[in-house]
RNA sequence: GGGGACGUGGUGCAGCGGUUAGCACGCCGGCCUGUCAAGCCGGAGGUCGCGGGUUCAAAUCCCGUCGUUCCCGCCA
């Protein structure tokens, strides 16, 4: 071993011991007669002291040392001089007096400072990721990730789950996200697909009798990036047999609660996760993954506003559409410019305009271009319903139900940001349940599944499939946190008759089903147990738990927004021979680019 | 595919029509025996992303383009 201790380990009880440390030079402070070196590894920092009067040899080496040199130091652990202790360092009561100093490896001047979080350009961080990884921030984040995943494995192992690996090279299905494809050398013109999730495979494991399965599974989706989306990401994939919905929710909630309490830097807002229906989520918060760190509810005022002389409201209510409102505390003094920013946001989300009222903080007069269309009694009824007071701003939306949701949901989110309601030091988890089995709007003349084809209806709703499919609730659930979807799953259909019924409703022919899911349908004929499961987005969970705004910060080697690895320069061109092996000829843009390079 | 923001020594930024493009950190050299973002003195380092245009004059204004990022579309 090139060390006897780590750089975060030595304390006063080690004083007098002869030890060897190895690590990176964080900083060197040359006082002339004495040189201090902060030696760093991922466990901490220790101050090294070189006294030029005591060892000319070590002093000469210390003179050459620069930041990020890798050095080995042997010396005696000593108490710091009285008054020279550093309370900001874990090892601040001691220092290592050097007997022997060796440079294990030199370093070029790094393009960024390691001991300061510099806000460097993202390209720089990603190009020199191995240097970025030396920073405290990334080391802390990857440590949280490791601890959390270890917690998950231990928890599920204690509950009789088996971790099973499933193929990375699998089969493309046209549904869902765009697949990453891998050409086959052995089968010209055919392709594997990288899994978007192990969904089918875990259901087949249930048929195989592995009644409690999990996997820390890498997944791939070839879609455009976001702060919470990378081309490859990690799911905790879970599937169980002989369970009902609440068995899964209870288990996963206990797992997540324990994991957060044990490993997260950001604490839970509350221990018990609320279970809210999809209908409540979209009607009250305008989103199927509402941010529950704050309330700011959408309130239906159709009955009052429909009576007003404002044509838009009256006509919409007469047509059966809602008028809903959002009260924004303290924003009654918004300027014309600020209001028009909000109107722009409303329009982006489908609104034709933005109606608003503001209550004067002094004289309680109600301003806003629609005020004149309301009687005094109507205004009183409105403010009472909304619990709106002096200084408040009231934002309205009236349109189809879907547009009202989208508009006020977006405004709720925006106003929470502006009002500083998004506490970054709390995690507000919740379950969203009772999703409709089918989307509200049909695709052509067919129903569209809101999750996927294998999602089971709630058992009591099965008769409704024949009479009112839109009223059928699914045994589907999402785990949400701070406005993010961090997980989702369902109880699956294991009954062939029911599966066929659903396929007919969504316009999926037997022939189509056969080519895409033949292996699934056949498997289900050999004694598929009742089963269901969930998948949690590990990267999103880790980002939330580390208080990070982007999942790049919890991945060791992420890609940038263009799905490029700027460190390794991937994807990259390959030699013609490789293409020939794969029976691939470049065409179009790809061919032009190769010719011009 | 679309919209917003950003692009200036190694790094982070200021300058936003008119001197030799400025500041901090870093880097190089010197001084210094108790520092810990050490201090002091001196120094090097820039095609202002790239291309075109407007102007007597462009880092600065306009157009295009490339890169980064956030968002919309997309993500069963």
- Distance in Å, residue A121 CA to nucleotide B68 C1': 7
Protein A112 CA to nucleic acid B26 C1', in Å? 8
- The pLDDT assigned to A451 comes to 78
Residue closest to B10 C1′ by Cα: A111
Nucleotide nearest to A451 (CA to C1'): B76
Peptide bond before residue A571 is cis, with ω within 30 degrees of 0: yes
Residues constituting chain A? 597
Q: Which residue is nearest to nucleotide B34 (CA to C1')?
A: A84
- As a whole number of angstroms, the distance between CA A60 and CA A75 comes to 16
DSSP A273-298: PPEEEHHHIIIIISSSS--TTS---E
Which nucleotide is closest to the Cα of A449 by its C1'?
A: B76
Rounded average pLDDT over A190-212: 96
Between CA A276 and CA A288 the distance in angstroms is 10
Q: Is A449 helix (H, G, I), strand (E, B) or coil?
A: strand
Residues A482-493, mean pLDDT to the nearest whole number? 96
Q: Could you give the domains of chain A? A: 12-105 (2.40.50.140), 294-419 (3.30.1360.30)
DSSP string, A373-403: GS-HHHHHHHHHHHT--TT-EEEEEESSHHH
Write out the DSSP string of A419-436: TT---TT-B-EEEEE--B
CA dist., res. A379 & res. A321, Å (int) = 20
Distance CA A138, CA A133 (A): 5
Amino acid A227 CA to nucleotide B36 C1' distance, rounded Å: 37
Quick one: DSSP state of residue A469? G
Which secondary structure element, helix H or strand E, spans residue A95, and what is its range? strand A94-105
- Report the distance separating Cα A7 and Cα A14, nearest Å: 13
Distance A560 CA to B50 C1' (A): 22
pLDDT at A374 over 70: yes
Taking CA A481 as the corner, what is the angle to CA A480 and CA A482, rounded to the nearest 5 degrees?
A: 130
Q: What are the strands, taking DSSP E only, across A184-255?
A: 191-193, 212-220, 232-241
Give me the pLDDT at residue A453, please.
83
Q: CA of A138 and C1' of B66: distance in angstroms?
A: 30
Question: How far from chain centre, in Å, is Cα A5?
Answer: 37
Q: How far apart are CA A239 and CA A492, in angstroms?
A: 10
Greatest mean pLDDT range, A269-278, A450-459, A519-528 = A269-278
Q: Closest nt to A176 (CA→C1')?
A: B76
Q: Please check the confidence at residue A108 and state whether its pLDDT lies above 70.
A: yes
Give, in order, the Cα–Cα distances in Å from A52 to each of A31, A34, A61, A461, A532: 10, 6, 11, 84, 70
Residue A35 DSSP SS3: strand
Mean pLDDT lowest among A179-193, A210-224, A263-277, A346-360: A346-360
Q: Exposed (0-12), middle (13-18) or buried (19+): which is A494, by Cβ within 10 Å? A: buried
The listed range with the strongest mean pLDDT (A6-10, A358-362, A513-517, A522-526) is A6-10
- Coil vs helix vs strand at A454: coil
Per-residue pLDDT, A513: 80
Task: Output the distance from A154 CA to B54 C1' rounded to whole Å.
Answer: 69
Rounded Cα–Cα distance for residues A500 and A454 (Å): 10
Give the pLDDT confidence score for residue A156 in this predicted structure. Answer: 98
Query: Does residue A441 carry a pLDDT above 80?
Result: no
How high is the ipTM of this complex?
0.93
pLDDT in tens, A338-351: 888 888 888 888 88
Asked whether the beta carbons of A176 and A196 are under 8 A apart, the reply is yes
Name the 3-class secondary structure at A98: strand
What confidence category does residue A488 fall into, taking pLDDT thresholds of 50, 70 and 90?
very high
Q: Which nucleotide is nearest to A448 (CA to C1')?
A: B76
- Angstrom distance, A562 CA to B21 C1': 34
Q: What is the dihedral of CA A514, A517, A521, A526, to 10 degrees?
A: 120
Cα atoms found within 13 Å of the Cα of residue A397, Cβ hemisphere only: 29
Give yes or no for residue A528 having a pLDDT over 70. Answer: yes
Least reliable range by pLDDT among A33-47, A62-76, A325-339, A382-396: A325-339
Q: What is the pLDDT of residue A166?
A: 97
In this prediction, residues A16-36 reach a mean pLDDT of: 96
pLDDT at A319: 94
Task: List pLDDT tens digits, range A552-561.
Answer: 999 999 999 9
Whole-number Å distance between alpha carbons of A559 and A574: 20
Higher pLDDT among residues A190 and A174, named by residue: A190
Structure tokens of A403? Answer: 């547009």
- Distance from residue A413's CA to nucleotide B72's C1', rounded to whole Å: 16
Q: CA–CA separation, A547 vs A422, rounded Å?
A: 12
Nucleotide nearest A349 (Cα, C1'):
B72
Measured in degrees and rounded to the nearest 5, phi and psi for residue A29 equal -120, 110
A321, pLDDT greater than 90 = yes
Mean pLDDT calculated for residue range A49-66: 93
- Residue with CA nearest B30 C1'? A32
- By the 8 A CB rule, do A382 and A323 touch? no
Spacing of A21 CA from B43 C1' in Å: 36
Q: Which nucleotide is nearest to A27 (CA to C1')?
A: B36
DSSP string of A127-187, one letter each residue: HTHHHHTTSHHHHHHHHHHHHHHHHHHHHHHHTT-EE----SSB---SSSSPPPEEE-SSS
pLDDT at position A185: 97
Query: What are the structure tokens assigned to A343, written together?
Result: 């109107």
Most confident of A74-88, A322-336, A400-414: A74-88
Separation CA A430–CA A280 (nearest Å) = 13
Burial class for A18, CB neighbours closer than 10 Å (0-12, 13-18, 19+)? exposed
Q: Is the pLDDT of residue A443 over 80?
A: no
Q: Which nucleotide has the least CA–C1' distance to A173?
A: B76
Say which residue the tokens 């060892």 belong to. A55
For residue A218, the model assigns a pLDDT of: 97
Tell the burial category of A425 from Cβ atoms under 10 Å away from its Cβ (0-12, 13-18, 19+): exposed
Give the nucleotide at minimum CA-to-C1' distance from A111: B10
A222 vs A194: CA distance, rounded Å: 10
**Edge-to-edge strand order for the sheet containing A366-367?**
A298-300, A323-328, A393-398, A355-359, A366-367
User: Residue A110 CA to nucleotide B45 C1', Å?
Assistant: 16
Residue A445 scores a pLDDT above 90? no
Nucleotide B9 C1' to residue A109 CA (A): 15
With contact defined as beta carbons under 8 Å apart, do A563 and A570 qualify?
no
Confidence of residue A508 (pLDDT cuts 50, 70, 90): confident
Q: Per-residue pLDDT averaged across A264-290, rounded? A: 96
pLDDT band at A597 (very low <50, low <70, confident <90, very high): low
Q: Which nucleotides of B are covered by protein (CB under 7 A)?
A: 1, 10-13, 25-28, 31-39, 67-76
Considering all nucleic acid strands, name the nucleotide whose C1' atom is nearest to the C-alpha of residue A36.
B35
- The nt closest to A118 (CA vs C1′) is B12
Whole-number distance in Å between A593 CA and B53 C1': 29
Q: Is A205 helix (H, G, I), strand (E, B) or coil?
A: helix
Beta strand A355-359 pairing with A393-398: antiparallel
**Res A118: pLDDT:** 73
Mean pLDDT (chain A, rounded): 93
pLDDT higher than 90, residue A335: no
pTM of the complete model: 0.94
Q: Is A119 left (phi over 0), alpha (psi -120 to 50) or beta?
A: left
* Structure confidence at residue A82 (pLDDT): 94
Check residue A596 and give its pLDDT. 67
Average pLDDT of span A456-478: 93
Specify the 3-state DSSP secondary structure of A372: helix
User: From the CA of A563, how many Å to the C1' of B55?
Assistant: 42
């Amino acid at each position: 071993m090139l060390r006897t201790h780590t750089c975060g380990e030595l304390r006063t009880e080690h004083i007098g011991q002869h030890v060897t440390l190895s690590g990176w030079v964080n900083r060197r402070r040359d006082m002339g007669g004495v040189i201090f070196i902060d030696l760093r590894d991922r466990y901490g920092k220790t101050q090294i002291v070189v006294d030029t009067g005591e060892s000319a040899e070590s002093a000469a080496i210390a003179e050459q040392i620069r930041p990020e040199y890798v050095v080995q130091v042997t010396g005696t652990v000593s108490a710091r001089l009285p008054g020279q202790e550093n309370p900001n360092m874990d090892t601040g009561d001691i220092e290592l007096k050097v007997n022997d100093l060796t440079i294990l490896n030199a370093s070029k001047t790094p393009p960024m400072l390691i001991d300061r979080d510099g806000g460097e350009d993202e390209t720089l961080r990603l190009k020199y990721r191995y240097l970025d990884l030396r920073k405290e921030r990334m080391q802390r984040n990857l440590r949280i990730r490791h601890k959390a995943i270890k917690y998950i494995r231990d928890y599920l192992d204690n509950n009789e789950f088996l971790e099973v690996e499933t193929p990375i090279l699998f089969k493309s299905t046209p549904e869902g996200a765009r697949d990453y494809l891998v050409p086959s050398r052995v089968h010209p013109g055919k392709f594997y697909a990288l899994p978007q999730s192990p969904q089918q495979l875990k259901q087949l494991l249930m048929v195989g009798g592995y009644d409690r399965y999990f996997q820390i599974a890498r997944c791939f989706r070839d879609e455009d990036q976001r702060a919470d989306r990378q081309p490859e990401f990690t799911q905790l994939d879970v599937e169980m047999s002989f369970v009902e919905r609440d068995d899964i929710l209870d288990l996963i909630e206990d797992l997540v609660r324990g994991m957060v309490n044990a490993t997260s830097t950001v604490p839970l807002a509350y221990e018990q996760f609320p279970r809210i229906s999809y209908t409540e989520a979209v009607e009250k918060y305008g989103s199927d993954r509402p941010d529950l760190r704050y309330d700011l509810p959408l309130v239906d005022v159709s009955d009052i506003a429909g009576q007003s002389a404002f044509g838009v409201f009256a006509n919409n209510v007469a047509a059966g559409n809602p008028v809903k409102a959002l009260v924004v505390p303290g924003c009654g003094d918004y300027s014309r410019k600020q209001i028009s920013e909000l109107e722009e946001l409303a329009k982006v989300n489908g609104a034709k305009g933005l109606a608003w009222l503001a209550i004067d903080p002094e004289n309680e007069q109600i301003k806003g271009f629609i005020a004149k269309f309301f009687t005094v009694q109507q205004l009183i009824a409105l403010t009472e319903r909304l619990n709106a007071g002096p200084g408040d701003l009231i934002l309205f939306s009236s349109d189809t139900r879907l547009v009202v949701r989208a508009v006020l949901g977006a405004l709720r989110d925006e106003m929470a940001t502006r009002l500083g309601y998004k506490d970054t030091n709390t995690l507000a988890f919740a379950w969203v349940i009772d999703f409709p089995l089918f989307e509200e709007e049909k695709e052509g003349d067919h129903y569209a599944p809101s999750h996927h084809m294998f999602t089971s209806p709630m058992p009591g709703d099965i008769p409704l499939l024949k009479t009112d499919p839109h009223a059928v609730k699914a045994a589907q659930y999402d785990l949400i946190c701070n406005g993010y979807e961090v997980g989702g799953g369902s109880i699956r259909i294991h009954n062939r008759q029911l599966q066929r019924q659903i396929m007919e409703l969504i316009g999926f022919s037997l022939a189509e089903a056969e080519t895409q899911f033949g292996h699934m349908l056949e498997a289900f004929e050999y004694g598929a147990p009742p089963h269901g499961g969930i998948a949690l987005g590990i990267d999103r969970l880790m980002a939330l738990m580390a208080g990070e705004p982007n999942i790049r910060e919890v991945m060791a080697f992420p890609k940038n927004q263009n799905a490029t690895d700027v460190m390794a320069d991937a994807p990259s061109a390959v030699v013609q021979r490789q293409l020939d092996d794969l029976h691939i000829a470049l065409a179009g843009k790809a061919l032009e680019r190769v010719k011009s390079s």
